[in-house]
Amino acid sequence: MSQMSQPPKQLKLAFFASGNGSNLQAILDACASSELDMSPQVVISNNSKAYALTRGQLAGIGSHHFSSKTHPHNLDQTILNTLLEHSVDLIVLVGYMKKLGDEILERFRGRVLNIHPALLPEFGGHGMYGLKVHQAVVAAGATHSGATVHLVDSEYDTGPILSQARIPLSSGETPESLAAKVLALEHRLLVETLQKIASGELELEGLKT
């Protein structure tokens, strides 16, 4: 008798965001349209006013404001419990302005992704976020910029790079114009990279148990 083959497991996603959440929205939309074969579960934000939380609510997934103010004594444990309750496979940092706690990083080693709005290893590190990144790129006279998806370690923007997308700077490029172009690039790169993970084209050691 032939054995029925199991369909591949749909990976469950958690998101950490501190702000608008346009990258989160790109992923939610891609999952809703089946362009991306993953299952969004929960959004966690350190910022109660983050629009990312509203995006999570509108998508019907768990949406939590957890911070050192809401949970002064047990923030990391509360976050970890939430991830475990949702049986999260993969964490995506989409504009999260805090570091994840050591225990969370340990439990999810090799399963935490971040999107950065430049071509790492240049223009990354502590304090390099938002418009500051694009200001630095323009000030350096770079000919290209882009977006990077990388695995997260205990430092800022230093983990192994999974994928990058490049664009040339136009003459007269401003940090603001570059930011808009890179953000659109980020949305595509993030969804494409996640779909490569979903299909097995990109293998993450951390997902092999």
We find the least distance from the C-beta atom of residue 11 to ligand GRF, in angstroms, to be 20
What is d(CA 195, CA 167) in angstroms, rounded to the nearest whole number? 22
* CB of 9 or CB of 166, closer to ligand GRF: 166
Assess 23 for contact with ligand GRF (CB under 6 A): yes
We find the least distance from the C-beta atom of residue 20 to ligand GRF, in angstroms, to be 4
* CB of 89 or CB of 186, closer to ligand GRF: 186
Among 12, 22, 71, 156, binds ligand GRF (CB under 6 A): 22
Strands 112-116 and 38-45: unpaired
Please, are residues 113 and 150 in contact by the beta-carbon 8 Å criterion?
yes
Active site positions, annotated: 116
We find the least distance from the C-beta atom of residue 49 to ligand GRF, in angstroms, to be 13
Residue 112 has a CB neighbour count (10 Å cut-off) of 22
We find the least distance from the C-beta atom of residue 179 to ligand GRF, in angstroms, to be 8
Please, are residues 35 and 199 in contact by the beta-carbon 8 Å criterion?
no
# residues near ligand GRF by CB under 6 A: 13
Binding range to ligand GRF, per CB under 6 A, among 18-26, 39-47, 64-72, 103-111 = 18-26
What is d(CA 179, CA 166) in angstroms, rounded to the nearest whole number? 13
Please, what is the Cα angle at 82 between 183 and 57, to 5 degrees? Answer: 50
Assess 40 for contact with ligand GRF (CB under 6 A): no
Q: Is 115 exposed, middle or buried (0-12, 13-18, 19+ CB in 10 A)?
A: buried
List the interface residues with ligand GRF, window 69-98 (CB under 6 A): 94-95
List the interface residues with ligand GRF, window 181-200 (CB under 6 A): 183, 186
Give the 3-state secondary structure of residue 188: helix
Residue 203 has a CB neighbour count (10 Å cut-off) of 10
* CB of 96 or CB of 108, closer to ligand GRF: 96
Q: Which residues on adjacent β-strands are paired with residue 90? A: 13
List the interface residues with ligand GRF, window 103-132 (CB under 6 A): 115-117
What is d(CA 116, CA 69) in angstroms, rounded to the nearest whole number? 27
We find the least distance from the C-beta atom of residue 192 to ligand GRF, in angstroms, to be 15
- What is the binding site for ligand GRF (CB under 6 A)? 17, 19-23, 94-95, 115-117, 183, 186
